[in-house]
Every structure is written in C-alpha cells, then in structure tokens.
C-alpha cells in the first residue's frame, strides 16, 4: 500500500534513465529498506538501477549458484498513476466491487474475480491505475527477503535483488550494468494470475514514420497542397485493421499506431509492432515500407521515411540454456499449493532484455490483474504465494 501511493509513472518521450525524476521517490527509500534488512553491496547508480545482495547462509565450503529476483519501480503512462488511492476489500463476497459512482469491477467482465470469493482484493478508486504492475513484485521480493533473514534455518545461496526504472517504456535495460551481476539465473516478478510462468514474450519493434508534405497558402492550395496531417491519417487507415491489438489474441501479433503528431509540412506516426515470431515482425516492417511507397506514388513530391528500431526480443530461445531454472520454478509453485501453468506474454518484461544479455530470466506471477487500467486489482493470497515462491526458489537453488 505504501509503494503504490508513490507516483512513479515513466515517460517514453524522455531518453534519460530514469525518464522521470519521480521514480527516485521510490528507488531511494527501497535502497534504505534493503540496507535496514541487512543486505550488502546496496548500490543505486546514477541511472536508477538498484542492486543489492543477501549473503549465503550455507556452511563454509558449500557453494550454490547466485540467483536474482527483479522487479520494476515505474508504472504505465496509459492512465494516471498520480495520487493512487488503493482500496482494500476484505472477505470479498463475489459480487460487483464499487470503485466509485461511475466505475465498477464486475466479475461478469473480469471472470478471474470469481475465483477469489472470500479473499482480500485490492483495487483502485476508479480514477487511476493501481500500480501492482510492478509494485506487487517489489513488495513480494522484500517480504521474501525478510522471511529468509528471520528464518536462518532456510538454506540459501547468495541472492541478488534488482530493481529497475522505465520498464514500461521498453527502454528499462538500455543502460543496465549487467557486468555487475553475479547471477547465473534470474526471475522477474512481473506476471499476473496465480501459478503462471511466462518464458516467452513478444518480439517488439517500434517504427517511426515521418511524412514530408508540400505546403502553400491555403487560399491557393488547389492542386498544390500536400497536407502532411491528412497524409498521416491516410497512412494509418492503410494499415491492416485485422492485425491490431483489439482484433488479435493468443499467438497473433499486431500493428499498433500509438501516437500521431504534425503540421501541414511534416507529420510523424509512432507504430508498435509485436509478434512472437521475428519473421512476422520483418513482414510487417516491409508492409509499412510498401505503404509509404504507395503514398509517394499517389502524391508525387511527398516523402515517407520508415525507420524501424528493435525494443526487445522473445526470451523463448534463452530458457533452454539452464533448464533447471524452470523446473525449480514449477516445484516452488507446487509447494505453495498452486498449479504451475505456462503462459505467453503479450508484452515484454525486463526479463526478456536480461535474457538477451546472457542471464535467463523467466517471469513469475504476482497476483495482479487488469494492468494499465483503472480496473487494476490484486489478490492478497496470491501475493503471499508469490512471495513464498521466492523463498522456495532460494532454497531449491541452494541444493
């Protein structure tokens, strides 16, 4: 509850890391909490990456691989994350939860709610997101550390804790000091439904489309004006609508025009491309280029520049490098009374970027739901189980 009240929304339009000063308002207190818990080597660098270590409690001469647990401090800019007022609903009765006079959390629309009748549900007040993505993960890691420290009879090797900024912008790992990590394997706590394991995510590219038109006084524009704003609108309507986020699910990828801006002379469209297969990403890039060429032929004299840029790749290929990492995760989930179930992420995490950098990092459930929306909610019992999973993983790797 304390973490979600801190405004940490990131900003994809800012190249600095962290992209917003407000992320420091959580990073700095977290560094102090880790020190107070007794972790060593607590380091918060100039880019907002927080790394700390819990020393091994294994007998002298006993070695175990170093493992890491990671979460991100920022929240999405899709809806306001300022002045979050979390609401606690104890002994949930299974019915509609009133967020405010206008918005309600209805189990008819959020079917997973029905599973948690009698549980404690944490929601927003309907005016902001909640921030369980990913402050639930942070709370679960901190709780697990406290358990391990207070129960020295639970064996564990050295554990690294990693908190990062700017995950929601897709650039959260751009300046990450991976050379400072000792971890052989890592887990992000940034998933959703209880029991879920995510070892596969989208490949993600962004595409900048810049359109240069031709300007003349509007009073003499007939047959001469090539309005870059109108051209941007036309370009967007040419993108296949059957391959959009709102028309796809499962393993189907999409184009998503995210932003458009401009003037008579120049306009810019930001498009996100997502797919589990890299070949499909490249196909869509070629389609966007061909749409630009088509527009240039229709309106001689204009220029359409299409510039793709990789954001992150599917972590799937990295999971087989150390197969026991997922086996231990399955075992840890069973130990807390849940059933492990593999899901694909129609998105990405810092874990996908860390996997690219050589440390396999699957994603673990946190108990949060309906992320990036005013309907976001979290389940207290699922959060407790996620924290217990961290404890069990620490013990399993020690063996």
CA neighbor of 23 nearest in space, from 131, 159, 149, 182: 131
Phi, psi (deg, nearest 5) at residue 243: -120, 60
Q: Tell the residue number behind the tokens 């019915």, with chain if given.
A: 95
Alpha helices in 194-277 (DSSP H): 228-238
pLDDT grade for 290, boundaries at 50, 70 and 90: very high
pLDDT in tens, 54-94: 999 999 999 999 999 999 999 999 999 999 999 999 999 99
pLDDT in tens, 301-318: 999 999 999 999 999 989
pLDDT grade for 386, boundaries at 50, 70 and 90: very high
pLDDT grade for 191, boundaries at 50, 70 and 90: very high
Query: What number is the average pLDDT over the span 129-136?
Result: 97
pLDDT in tens, 229-277: 999 999 999 999 999 999 999 999 999 999 999 999 999 999 999 999 9
Largest CA distance in the chain: 86
Per-domain residue ranges of the chain: 21-201+314-398, 203-312
CATH 3.30.70.360 fits 203-312, yes or no: yes
Query: What number is the average pLDDT over the span 135-158?
Result: 98
Q: How many residues does the chain have?
A: 399
pLDDT in tens, 17-55: 999 999 999 999 999 999 999 999 999 999 999 999 999
What local confidence, expressed as pLDDT, does residue 171 receive?
86
What is the DSSP pairing of strand 377-379 with strand 254-262? unpaired
What tokens appear for 152 in the block? Answer: 């020295």
Cis before residue 6, ω within 30 degrees of 0?
no
What local confidence, expressed as pLDDT, does residue 104 receive?
96
Whether 167 is a known active-site residue: answer: yes
Domain 21-201+314-398 architecture: 3-Layer(aba) Sandwich (3.40)
Phi, psi (deg, nearest 5) at residue 34: -65, -40
What local confidence, expressed as pLDDT, does residue 348 receive?
83
Positive or negative torsion for Cα 70, 75, 81, 86:
negative
Residue 172 reports pLDDT greater than 90: no
Catalytic residue chosen out of the listed positions 133, 167, 168, 196: 167
The CA-atom distances, in angstroms, between 31 and each of 150, 180, 210, 366, 382 are 19, 17, 42, 21, 25
CA pair distance 92, 114, nearest whole angstrom: 9
What local confidence, expressed as pLDDT, does residue 303 receive?
97
Alpha helices in the chain (DSSP H): 24-37, 132-150, 228-238, 278-298, 324-335, 350-356, 380-398
CB-CB contact of 182 with 397 (8 Å): no
Residue 170 reports pLDDT greater than 90: no
pLDDT in tens, 319-374: 989 999 999 999 999 999 999 999 999 988 899 999 999 999 999 999 999 999 99
């Amino acid at each position: 509850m304390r973490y979600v009240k801190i405004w940490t929304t990131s900003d994809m339009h800012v190249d600095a890391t962290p992209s917003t000063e407000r992320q420091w308002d959580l990073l700095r207190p977290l560094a102090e909490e880790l020190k107070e818990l007794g972790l060593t080597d607590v380091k918060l660098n100039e880019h907002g990456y927080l790394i700390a270590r819990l020393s091994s409690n294994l007998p002298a001469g006993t070695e175990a691989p170093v493992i890491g647990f990671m979460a991100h401090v920022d929240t999405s800019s899709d809806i306001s994350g300022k002045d979050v007022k979390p609401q606690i609903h104890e002994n949930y009765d299974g019915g509609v939860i009133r967020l405010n006079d206008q918005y309600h959390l209805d189990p008819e629309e959020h079917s997973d709610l029905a599973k948690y009748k009698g549980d404690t549900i944490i929601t927003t007040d309907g005016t902001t997101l909640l921030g369980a993505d990913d402050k639930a993960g942070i709370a679960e890691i901190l709780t697990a550390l406290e358990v391990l420290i207070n129960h020295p009879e639970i064996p564990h090797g050295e554990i690294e804790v990693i908190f990062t900024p700017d995950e929601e912008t897709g650039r959260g790992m751009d300046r990450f000091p991976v050379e400072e990590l000792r971890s052989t394997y890592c887990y992000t706590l940034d998933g959703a439904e209880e029991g879920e394991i995510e070892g596969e995510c989208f490949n993600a590219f962004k595409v900048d489309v810049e359109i240069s038109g031709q300007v003349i006084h509007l009073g003499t524009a007939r047959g001469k004006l090539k309005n870059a704003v109108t051209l941007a609108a036309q370009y967007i309507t040419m993108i296949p609508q059957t391959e959009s986020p709102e028309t796809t699910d499962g393993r189907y990828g999409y184009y998503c025009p995210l932003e458009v801006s401009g003037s008579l002379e120049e306009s810019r469209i930001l498009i996100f491309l997502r797919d589990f297969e890299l070949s499909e990403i490249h196909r869509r890039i070629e389609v966007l280029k061909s749409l630009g060429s088509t527009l240039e032929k229709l309106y001689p004299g204009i220029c359409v520049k299409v510039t793709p840029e990789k954001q992150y790749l599917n972590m799937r290929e990295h999971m087989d490098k150390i197969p026991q990492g997922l086996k231990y995760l399955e075992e840890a989930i069973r130990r807390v009374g849940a059933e492990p179930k593999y899901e694909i992420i129609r998105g990405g995490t810092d874990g996908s970027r860390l996997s690219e950098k050589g440390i396999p990092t699957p994603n673990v459930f946190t108990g949060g739901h309906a992320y990036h929306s005013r309907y976001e909610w979290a389940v207290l019992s699922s959060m407790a189980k996620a924290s217990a999973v961290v404890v069990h993983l620490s013990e399993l790797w020690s063996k």
